[in-house]
Structure formats: C-alpha cells, structure tokens
Amino acid sequence: MKEFSLIEKEKVLIIKLSGEIDVVNADEFYVETEKAYLQNLKDIEFDLSGLKFIDSTALGTFVKISNLLKKDGKKVTVKNLKDQIKRLFVICSLDSVINIEA
C-alpha cells in the first residue's frame, strides 16, 4: 500500500488507497483503518481508484473491517474499483457484504 489518505466528512470517512494491498501489508491496512474508525465512528467509504492490486488476504481484511463497523451499525462502501478488482469482489460474493459503487 503506497498511500492511505483520510478525508473526514460530516457523516463518512473517506479513505483513499493506492498501490497494492496484499499479505505483506494487509495488517497495516487494517490497523490504520481501525485507528481512523475508532477515532471517528462513522461509515467508511474506500476510494479504490488508485489501487492496482489486491489478493485474498486484502479481501479478508475488507470483510474484517466491515464486521468491525457492523457491530456499531455502520457500513463500508467501496468506490471507483478497477474492473479486475471489482471482479474479485463479485466472484468472492463480497458484493453481498460490502456496498460497491461505480
């Protein structure tokens, strides 16, 4: 993961990701997201326009983040996915767990 940018809006945290999320940095991705969430307790919207690659570990991390937020009645949305990354979310049925927007 090259970049983790956080933008706080009134009702949502926007987290912009770039680079790659894989087994090497998935834990760091989770820790950074959890920290931002616990400080704000808002829905999270991930902007994945700069994300080039994710592996199964990253997919699991998105589910883990979604479960963390669901306990508080919050939700995760992913936006601006490249076709290959969107395909992974759909193939793994994560579109039934996480909101996917074009």
The confidence score (pLDDT) of residue 8 equals 76
C-alpha span between 102 and 36 (Å, rounded)? 24
Q: If DSSP codes are grouped into helix, strand and coil, which group holds residue 16?
A: strand
C-alpha span between 21 and 40 (Å, rounded)? 23
**Positions in the chain whose pLDDT score sits under 70:** 1-2
C-alpha span between 28 and 90 (Å, rounded)? 24
pLDDT tens, position by position, 6-21: 777 889 999 999 999 9
Q: If DSSP codes are grouped into helix, strand and coil, which group holds residue 21?
A: strand
The confidence score (pLDDT) of residue 1 equals 57
The length of the chain in residues reads: 102
C-alpha span between 83 and 68 (Å, rounded)? 26
Domains of the chain (ranges plus CATH)?
3-101 (3.30.750.24)
pLDDT tens, position by position, 86-95: 999 999 999 9
